[in-house]
Amino acid sequence: MAADLKHWAGKFKSLTDSDATIGAMAKYYTCTFMYDMGDAKVIVEMHDGKVKHINTNPAPLDAYDFALRASAASWREFGKPVPRPHFHGIWAASFREDLKIEGNITVLMQNLRNFTVQFELLRKCGVPV
Amino acid sequence: MARHSPVTGRYVTIEVDGLEYKVFYLHNGKGTPLVCQHTAGCHNHQWRGLLEDEEITRDYNVIAYDLARHGKSDPPLNVEWWKSEYKLTADHYVNFITTLCDALELDNPIFMGSSFGGNVALQLAMRHPDRFRAVIPVEAADYAPGFFLDWWRHPHVNAAQVCASGTWDLMAPQSPDMDRWLTWHYYTQGSEVFKGDLYFYSVDHDLRRDLDRIDARRCPVVMMTGTYDFLTPPEVTENTARRIKGGIYIEMTDIGHFPMSENYPVFRVYLKEALRIIREKTGG
């Protein structure tokens, strides 16, 4: 499980750092967020459009700006190449499915363009749950 | 040789509820007027595919206007509009559309709108069934709560990007990247009005107890919704259509809340069917 998670983190970092759409407006895309996928949790630290670090074993007091929490089943839908309706984005899934967006949502909104693009990279690398 | 589009644009000045508007509209085609309303916080380029559709414009005079405060239609010119918060009401929206149709001397037009344009199409069918040949409410419902949010023009965020990326997953992942990003681009341009538009969409528009006042036998109502629309999911539109006397519902597969803009080739298949139904029912 730990090895799988680290392997996934490497793929997600590589896809993010090489993504042209994020790269086109990378400056100031700086924030820290958690993907809470039920069985697996990661904290992604972004700095100027690049992944600075992915914490694959967060401790209880490790900090982040905001979190996306949903069941593993929902994350598996997010990670499909073409997700089903209502699993095709964080707005759709928070309005219609079990996704909860918690924490400092202002930071999410300040970074919404790139965060949205990056979230869709899950369709290429899948999810570790 | 210049590569001109057959689409042309004009301005017309109208007065609505004491407010003077200089309204911009694009048009192309001849025949039955087909008046098109863009979605909230957007403008008439969403209808770019339809405006240049050679087959449809052979028989339909397509008119896609910018609602006041959107695109090239300025806010009212005779009041200090910047001193009050913009909140679009159903009354004013309906009056704007009927006044514009009168100014353009349109004879018994079909009205089509998407999202908040679809919801106002239902309002038109209820309030003015004898003035419209038919209405095509796209991505519409009797009631659409939940989108009147402060985030759309919050001073601590880049509102242009919040409006554009906040509506991103209203579109289907199957829709072409170019068209989804063009729609995103349009949405960066309307952030000052998006929230005020959504006052109509999510608050003032509430026909849950009024659908029996719409008679689609007098003014045909053909509702169409895409399967990737999470704001008005297909079942919500279908339930609305079922409660309208004579209402018709068409489900659009693998498309979202901005169908005419995010994937026109798919949308036009369903639109042609809607127009066929209307011709059958009205003879025109």
Give me the mean pLDDT over the B132-151 stretch. 98
What are the structure tokens assigned to A30, written together? 């700086």
CA dihedral A114, A119, A120, A121 (to 10 degrees): 90
Cβ distance A85 to B156 less than 8 Å, yes or no, reads no
**Nearest C-alpha of chain B: how many angstroms from A112?**
6
Token look-up 């993504």 returns: A19
Nearest to A109 among B151, B170, B230 (CB): B151
Mean pLDDT, rounded, for A48-57? 98
pLDDT surpassing 90 at residue A7: yes
Task: In whole angstroms, give the CA distance from residue B223 to residue A37.
Answer: 38
Residue range B61-73, pLDDT digits in tens: 999 999 999 999 9
Residue owning tokens 């909140």: B87
pLDDT for residue B199: 98
Contact B230 A106 (CB under 8 A): no
pLDDT at A2: 73
pLDDT band at B284 (very low <50, low <70, confident <90, very high): low
> B161 vs A106: CB contact, 8 Å cut-off?
no
Q: Would you state the pLDDT for residue B215?
A: 97
Which residue in B148, B153, B158, B169 has the most chain A C-beta atoms within 10 A of its own C-beta, making it the best mutation to test that interface?
B169
ipTM: 0.96
The pLDDT, as a whole number, for residue A3 is 74
- The mean of the pLDDT values for chain B is 98
How far is the C-alpha of B178 from the C-alpha of B201, rounded, in Å? 27
Write out chain A in H/E/C secondary structure. Answer: CHHHHHHHHHHHHHHHHCCHHHHCCCCCCCEEEEEECCCCEEEEEEECCEEEEEECCCCCCCCCCEEEECCHHHHHHHCCCCCCCCCCCHHHHHHHCCCEEEECHHHHHHCHHHHHHHHCCHHHHCCCC
Which of A84, A113, A117 would you mutate first to test chain B, the one with the most B CBs within 10 A?
A: A113
- CB contacts < 8 Å between A and B, how many? 59
Q: Which residues of B touch A110 (CB under 8 A)?
A: 156-158
Residue B202 has phi, psi (to 5 degrees) of -105, -15
Nearest to B174 among A82, A105, A116 (CB): A82
Structure tokens at A27: 């400056």
pLDDT at A1: 62
Gap between the Cα atoms of B178 and B3, Å rounded: 21
Which pair of tokens denotes residue B218?
């007098």
Residue B257 has pLDDT above 70, yes or no: yes
Q: What's the number of domains chain A is made of?
A: 1
From A92, A113, A123, residue closest to B161, measured CB to CB = A113
| Encoded tokens for B3 | 């590569």
Q: Across residues B6-34, what is the average pLDDT?
A: 98
CA-CA distance, B238 to B223, in Å (whole number)?
8
State the CATH number of the domain containing residue A117. Answer: 3.30.1050.10
Q: Give φ, ψ of A35 to 5 degrees.
A: -100, 110
Contacts with A106 from chain B: Cβ below 8 Å: 154, 156-157
Which residues partner with B140 through β-bridges?
none
**Which residues in B lie closer than 8 A to residue A112 (C-beta atoms)?**
157, 161-162, 165-166
Domains and CATH numbers, chain B: 8-282 (3.40.50.1820)
Percent of chain A whose predicted confidence (pLDDT) is above 70: 99
Domain holding A88, by residue range, is 2-125
CA separation (Å) from A79 to A22, A46, A84, A98, B262?
A: 19, 20, 10, 15, 22
Q: With contacts defined as CB-CB under 8 Å, which chain A residues touch B161?
A: 112-113
Q: Chain B: nearest CA to A57, how far in angstroms? A: 30
* B136, two tokens: 């095509």
Q: Which two tokens stand for residue B16?
A: 């609505």
pLDDT confidence of residue B41: 98
Kindly state the average pLDDT of the residues A117-125. Answer: 98
CA distance A73 to chain B (A): 19
Rounded distance, CA B67 to CA A3, Å?
A: 55
Yes or no: say if B263 and B174 are a contact pair by the CB < 8 Å rule. yes
Say whether pLDDT at B283 is over 90. Answer: no
Per residue in B152-209, pLDDT tens?
999 999 999 999 999 999 999 999 999 999 999 999 999 999 999 999 999 999 999 9
pLDDT single digits (tens) B99-136: 999 999 999 999 999 999 999 999 999 999 999 999 99
What integer pLDDT is reported at residue A39 of this predicted model?
87
Characterize the bridge pairing of strands A66-69 and A100-103: antiparallel
pLDDT at B140: 98
Distance of alpha carbon A44 from the chain centroid: 7
- Residue A95, Cβ neighbours under 10 Å: how many? 16
Query: What is the DSSP track for B23-57?
Result: EEEEEE--SEEEEEE--TT--GGGGHHHHT-HHHH
**b/e B83-107 (16+ beta carbons within 10 angstroms → b):** eeebebebebbbbbbbbbbeebebe
Instruction: Provide the CB-side half-sphere exposure for B199 (13 A, CA).
Output: 14
pLDDT above 70: percentage of residues in chain B: 100
